[in-house]
Amino acid sequence: MDLKVIHLKGIDSTNRYCYKLGKEGKRNLVVIAEVQSAGVGRLGRRWYSNYGGLYFSILLDLKEYLNDREESIGKLNFIGSISVYETLIEYLPKNLRESIGIKFPNDVIVSVNRDKKICGILSEINWDHKFVVLGIGININNHIPEDLKDTAVSLRELCKREYDRFEIFYRFLSRFKDNFHLEDREILKKYEKYSKTLGRYVKVVTPNEEITGTVFKIDYGGIYLSTLEGIRYINVGDCIHLR
Ligand code: BTN
């Protein structure tokens, strides 16, 4: 897999930019920006993107790499989150390595006292033009604003030092390319191993309801909960770890 990297000083959103390039027929690109003025998060939220973080999006052809299937987007998200996990864990001191993990669907979190997000992933698919954009934001040296301090953390804050963002970025890309060629069962095995959600009692908040239960399986499409009313399969929403 050959990916061309486009480095920008600033942009509204690397996902938006890749989406535009995708419609123009461009493929196999990674757009990385120093800052984003309108970074987009999941479920229509904003992704705060000040200087010092990593903000990038990968533009891929849906047919060439992902078999043009609905579940491809879930698979790509899994490849993204396991690659971020494998990249970041190498930078953490031994005493923090147990604390990092993946929270459903694709957040990479660090649990010290409470779960805090270090990476978020937002993928978008365009069926008409057959491309997919995988957007990744990682808190590296960026300052976390006061109102997000309870829920987000940076690598600098965790390890009390600054990091070379581009070294981390290129290590991620290399992991991503390796993981991309794995068989489904190997991807799922890694995801399960790194998951902080599997086996947990959780609350999933969807646009229509809140469901509580114990997570006994996760696949590309969603999460399986064992609830008092029986088994539920949920494919969208926020997941809160209760215990
Ligand atoms: C989330 O809500 O957890 C997903 C956040 C995704 C943020 C990244 S930063 C790079 C790319 N560009 C965007 O506008 N969003 C994604």
Q: What angle do CA 69, 72, 74 make, to 5 degrees?
A: 135
Q: Does ligand 1 lie within 6 Å of residue 81's CB atom?
A: no
Identify whether residues 92 and 208 lie together within a single domain: no
Domain containing 224: what range? 201-241
Does one domain contain both 94 and 182?
yes
Co-location of 63 and 180 in the same domain: yes
Residue at token pair 């064992």: 226
* Ligand 1 site, residue 36, Cβ cutoff 6 A: yes
Q: What is the pLDDT of residue 65?
A: 67
171 lies in the same domain as 205: no
Q: Tell me, what CATH number does 57's domain have? A: 3.30.930.10
Are residues 216 and 157 located together in one domain of the fold? no
Number of domains in the chain: 2
Q: Is 209 in the same domain as 190?
A: no
3-state helix, strand, coil in the chain (%, to 5): 30, 35, 35
Is the overall model pTM greater than 0.85, yes or no? Answer: yes
pLDDT one-digit tens code per residue, 193-232? 999 999 999 999 998 999 999 999 999 989 999 999 999 9
The per-residue pLDDT for range 62-103, each reduced to its tens digit, is 887 666 566 678 899 999 999 999 999 999 999 999 999 999
pLDDT of residue 163: 97
Q: Same domain, yes or no, for 190 and 212?
A: no
- Token code pair at residue 48: 């705060």
Clarify whether residues 62 and 38 are in a common domain.
yes
Over residues 117-122, the mean pLDDT reads 97
Mutate to test the pocket of ligand 1, among 122, 123, 236 (most ligand atoms within 8 A of CB): 122
